[in-house]
Amino acid sequence: MLEKLEEVKRNIQREIKSITALKDAEQLKIKYLGRKGIIHDFMKLIPSLPAEQRAAIGQRINSLKAEVTHTVEELSLKAEVTHTVEELIKKFSGEATSKAKHEVFDITLPGKRPLVGKKHPLTQTIDDIKEVFARLGFDVVYGPEVESEYYNFEALNIPADHPSRTDFDTFYIKNDILLRSQTSTVQIRVMEKQKPPIRIIAPGRVYRPDTVDARHSFMFHQVEGLLVDEGVSFADLRGVLNQFIKTYFGQDVQMRFRPSFFPFTEPSAEVDISCSLCKGSGCSVCSYSGWVEILGAGMVDPNVFKSVHYDAEKYTGFAFGMGVERITMLKYGINDIRLFYENDIRFLSQF
Ligand code: 2NL
């Protein structure tokens, strides 16, 4: 019996070697594994064998079965691949693909890596800023870029005859309608609708009458922040900005406040950080001072609260505004603001 099984095994191995097509593999399967197949015949003989032989013979039959099954599966897989390529060639056979008939299809070649796009560096910076302030409990708000003079100037304590209006007076659509020069307009709209406590940041495009050069653009991006509640102090402003600066620029970066003026805050300050490029030792980016300005801030002027009918005796608040381009340039050492708007893939793909 064992002899016979060995013979069947040799036959199978011989037949496997000569198989070239899927249908031959299928026939092999039927011949050996089918219900009327050779292996089945052997199985039927088992009960008539002496008891001490049954286990050994049974094992041999099973391993033979496994071998045939495995071989047939492998052959069908191979046959399927060949089949698909042949079908493709048939389907597309024309001049363009006739060449393919003579080419070897190498399935081990590495694939073509698709070009994956990424966020614009300014969008990345805005996302990073949003994340830091989200952790401090600030909501993100958006509003229109085309604004009325009221939201852009009057509500922010910049009356028509105010000297600082000339810095922003720009891009009129018609009489009283213009492109916003800061995103505080959005914050006024929020205060009109909601009572304190307010904790928001407003990212977006703003427009100013600046002549374009390496550091200026008539359009840039800003993130403004506003926090209003009872008992908010200048120390809270320092705390929040310090937290932002350390998280965004790094724990070892220093911060300093310089007195300044904005019509919508009183007192006002300009905020510097120690130059991240030269670590404070002096370079061209910080004009050899070791410090670079990154934002303006202050306590909300009571006149602004008056425009939104907040009780300035009850509530205080702080606000700040930063240029996204400026912060991105500082973080990555970019020396020309115009690079952000030229859509040159060699520049953009670096971030
Ligand atoms: C800068 C300075 C600043 C604000 C923006 C603000 C908003 C409201 C009330 C009061 Cl609703 N202030 N915003 C305050 C101080 C400075 O921006 O240099 N921006 C690029």
Q: Name which CATH class applies to 121-348.
A: alpha beta
Ligand 1 within 6 A of 157 CB?
Answer: no
The dihedral formed by the CA atoms of 343, 345, 348 and 349, expressed in degrees to the nearest 10: 160
pLDDT on residue 21: 65
- Domain ranges in the chain are 2-99, 121-348
Question: Measured from the CB, is residue 188 less than 6 Å from ligand 1?
Answer: yes
pLDDT at 97: 53
Q: What is the pLDDT of residue 56?
A: 80
Evaluate: CB of 151 within 6 angstroms of ligand 1.
no
The sheet that has 177-179: what strands, in order across it?
A: 146-148, 177-179, 172-174
Give nearest CA residue, ligand 1 atom 18: 296
- pLDDT at residue number 32: 79
138 lines ligand 1 (CB under 6 A): no
Residue 96 confidence (pLDDT): 55
**pLDDT digits (tens), the chain, 351 positions:** 777 777 877 777 777 777 766 667 777 778 778 877 877 777 787 788 888 888 887 788 788 778 777 777 777 666 655 556 666 666 666 655 556 566 777 888 888 888 888 999 999 999 999 999 999 999 999 999 999 999 999 999 998 887 777 777 778 999 899 999 999 999 999 999 999 999 999 999 999 988 999 999 999 999 999 999 999 999 999 999 999 999 999 999 999 999 999 999 999 999 999 987 787 787 877 888 889 999 999 999 999 999 999 999 999 999 999 999 999 999 898 999 999 999 999 999 999
Per-residue pLDDT, 246: 95
Ligand 1 pocket check: which of 168, 185, 224 to mutate, most ligand atoms within 8 Å of Cβ?
224
The number of the ligand 1 atom at minimal distance from the alpha carbon of 296 is: 2
* pLDDT attached to residue 150: 95
Report how far ligand 1's centroid is from the alpha carbon of 70 (Å).
74
Say how far apart CA 341 and CA 221 lie, in whole Å: 12
Pick the residue whose CA is nearest to atom 7 on ligand 1. 184
Question: Given its phi and psi angles, is residue 218 left (phi above 0), alpha (psi -120 to 50 degrees) or beta?
Answer: alpha
Q: What residues form DSSP beta bridges with 172?
A: 178
